Chains A and B, each alone.
Chain A
Amino acid sequence: MKNIKEIFKRNPNKIKESKLDTSLVVVNIVLLVLFMIVIIFPLLNFFSLSINDYRRNGDVILFPVKLSGFGFRTVFKGSEAAHLWRAFGNSVIITIVITIGSNLVEAMAAYPLSKRDCPLRGGIMMYFIITMLFSAGTAPIYLLMRQFNLTDNIWSCILISISNVGNLLYFKVFFEGLPKDIEDSARLDGASEIQMFFRIVIPMSLPVIGSCCFFSMVGAWNGYGSALLFINPNKFDAFPLAYYLYLLNERLSTSKVEEILMGRKNIEAAAMIVSIIPIIACYPYVIRYIKGGLMIGSVKE
């Protein structure tokens, strides 16, 4: 009896947080707030620039000093409007085709491969995985696009991004984990294999497909690596939005109009805010999907 009492006496002292722990909590919160400031400060400054009067750009620290619609006016109606909206439209097409095409193609391929007794399973998986391990570099792909006459065309940016073996592996691992009983009962009810895929497998794996779609979307919307390779900087008709934004500063700084030259930071900021809007609009909707999708990624099979 006495021993037990002693144990209960001693333990509360041990469990009680030491001075080190309390100070660590403070350090933890301070560090995280610091991280957040480092992230938010440049973004807020940038946003303020887009709605600030260009004569007083120097005074902007966090918030706009003198409001002005100059940046957005130039982007929506002024000299930049035609190019920007053309690029915006191109990016919408590129993003939609890549998001739907890539994920559908890879999910379809992953479905038969997720069956344990798929014919030649190992060989087919090897065929896909080799493309991940070794790539021949940019030059042969550039030549291939020339051969197809796809340079200076948005389809070069689309086609190069459709194949995504990483997503194929994700989908395969996820499909393997789906309960077999549901498929069996659907088969008893007379579902064909194609119905099974579109009516049962896809709806059941919406979290992982949703998060993969979101990443494809962000990648397609923001990327300009393929545009750098395939699209000539003079061919405005074929610009994705991100490529347009990348070339914007250089073009504005050689402008003859003094107003544009002076306010180029504000125009640039306004155009970029326009480009961010679609991503921000999707962010809250997908954030709940991402959590489910990521948990699969973190488990090693």
Chain B
Amino acid sequence: MENDVMEQEKADALQLSAPSELSEIEKAESVLGIDRSLFEEPKFWSLQKKRFIKYRKVLWFIIPAALFSLIFSYIPMLGVVFAFKDPGHFNLYRYDLWHELTNGYWTINNFGNIFNDKFFVSVGNTLLINVIKLVICFPLSIFIAVQLSELKSQTMAKVVLIVICIPNFLSWAVVIATWAGLLDGDGGALNTLLVTLKFNSPNHPLMQEAGLYKFFVIFLSAWKGAGWGCIMFYAGIIAIDKSFYESATLEGANRLHKMWYLTIPMIIPTIALMLVLNISGMLATGLEVVLPLFDMILADEAQLTLDVYLYDITIVNQNIPMAATLGVFNGLVGLTLMIVGNLVTTKTLHRGLW
């Protein structure tokens, strides 16, 4: 009974108050000269304008970076239109950017023509190299990081870290020359060892063997990058609270348990991040490593990778419409892979790029 009465009263009060009170407030406002808009949520553009005035002295800081992005990222994106140009009528030596953008011979045949034999060979090789890298080199970095964190002495860990990071700071030219020297058919130290162990015949440089091309791309990438790649994971591991390990020890976990059930799950955010970055670079092998090695095997076309193929048609053949088409294809696949990779890691590891 009481509840009913209360509700009745409330409803009455609401009905009475709503129109009359508002009008009274409005009256008071008009008498006192209060601007009602001051209390309202400001409109989007007026808010931005207010903020703009507040930061007017620092906002020009953005302009240089924005200009560089505009000139070297957005204007080249306009180059997508070259993908619709007829290669037969594209003259690189009498070419003018604005003229080409506005008129000329248009075609969409390029998108059919890029799917030729060389393209499929190079995509196959690139994917094979990158999948093996993802399966071997990526876990190798995590493995090294875990091994490093298992060391008891901090100084020892630091020394190992500094040593295994050195190759990352060398140029690819130096890395390739180093290994080419070691495996030189005429007196390379490692080659001599392999010959005495009967793995190799004398005067037979392994790096000029076309069949071993993919192996060397992967091996040299691992040699150069694995040590550096582990630094991210190592930073993640040393940030883990030590009390977790103490309680795990009390529960009777041995080192293997702690590695597998504690260390690895704790660095999953880092792993997910690096995994997405790796997956989105699936069609890139890095021109600086594949091109010198490709020259060493005397440009055997069966070992073509996408980077080398793109370099070939852009710089050597200067078939710009074809190269632009391939570039668009590459960019779109990279974007898709990044989105898909992010989706997969958010679904499975519950972490991603965004």
Contact = CB atoms under 8 A, between A and B. Distances in A.
B69 A163 contact: yes
A195 B254 CA distance: 56
A204 B332 CA distance: 40
Contacts of A8: none
B51 A117 contact: yes
Interface residues of B, number: 98
Given A49-B181, A283-B169, A162 B58 contact: no
B147 A127 contact: no
B324 A140 contact: yes
B273 A300 contact: yes
Given A133-B338, A222-B172, A224-B173, 15 more contacts: A15-B250, A45-B189, A46-B182, A118-B55, A119-B51, A120-B48, A131-B69, A137-B323, A137-B327, A141-B76, A163-B73, A193-B58, A229-B314, A272-B173, A276-B174
9 contacts: A39-B164, A46-B177, A128-B69, A136-B77, A137-B327, A140-B327, A163-B73, A225-B287, A245-B173
Interface string B142-168: 001001101100000000101110110
Given A143-B79, A287-B162, A298-B232, A11 B328 contact: no
Interface stretch (B1-9, B31-39, B60-68, B122-130): B60-68
B169 A45 contact: no
A133 B351 CA distance: 19
A194 B305 CA distance: 49
Given A32-B160, A228-B291, A108 B61 contact: yes
A119 to B, nearest CB: 4
Nearest to A249: B177
A123 to B, nearest CB: 10
A147 B68 CA distance: 16
Nearest to A132: B73
B59 interface: yes
Interface residues of A, number: 95
Given A28-B150, A119-B48, A269-B177, A142 B315 contact: yes
Nearest to A282: B169
B68 A137 contact: no
B29 interface: no
A228 B163 contact: no
B351 to A, nearest CB: 7
Contacts of A192: 57
Interface string A43-75: 101100100000001111100000000000000
A213 to B, nearest CB: 14
A45 B181 CA distance: 9
Contact of B184 (A250, A265, A295): A265
B236 interface: yes
Interface string B215-234: 00000000100010001100
B61 A111 contact: yes
B111 interface: no
A218 B228 CA distance: 13
Interface in B43-83: 48-49, 51-52, 54-55, 57-59, 61-62, 64-66, 68-69, 71-80, 82
B211 interface: no
A42 B51 CA distance: 58
Contacts of B332: 134
Contact of A295 (B77, B239, B250, B295): B239
Interface in A119-161: 119-120, 124, 127-128, 131, 133-144, 146-147, 159-160
B97 interface: yes
Given A136-B79, A139-B314, A45 B256 contact: no
Contact of B163 (A14, A36, A138, A142): A36
Given A143-B97, A160-B72, A112 B169 contact: no
Contacts of A245: 171, 173-174, 177
B95 interface: yes
Interface in A197-240: 197, 218, 221-225, 228-229
B9 to A, nearest CB: 45
Interface in A2-22: 11, 14-15, 18, 20-21
Contact of A228 (B72, B166, B250, B315): B315
A136 B227 contact: no
B282 interface: no
Given A36-B160, A276-B170, A42 B178 contact: yes
Contacts of B80: 136, 140
Nearest to B227: A39
B58 A112 contact: yes
Given A109-B61, A124-B62, A228-B291, A144 B76 contact: yes
B174 A14 contact: no
A138 B310 contact: yes
B300 interface: no
B331 A135 contact: yes
A272 B338 CA distance: 37
Nearest to A62: B189
A40 B162 CA distance: 11
Contacts of A45: 178, 181-182, 189
A160 B69 CA distance: 10
A208 to B, nearest CB: 14
Contacts of B65: 105-106, 108-109, 128, 163, 168
A113 interface: yes
B136 to A, nearest CB: 15
8 shortest interchain CB distances as A-B pairs: A137-B327, A140-B79, A58-B187, A109-B65, A139-B323, A131-B73, A222-B171, A140-B76
Contacts of A159: 68, 72
A222 B170 contact: yes
A105 B171 contact: no
Nearest to A33: B160
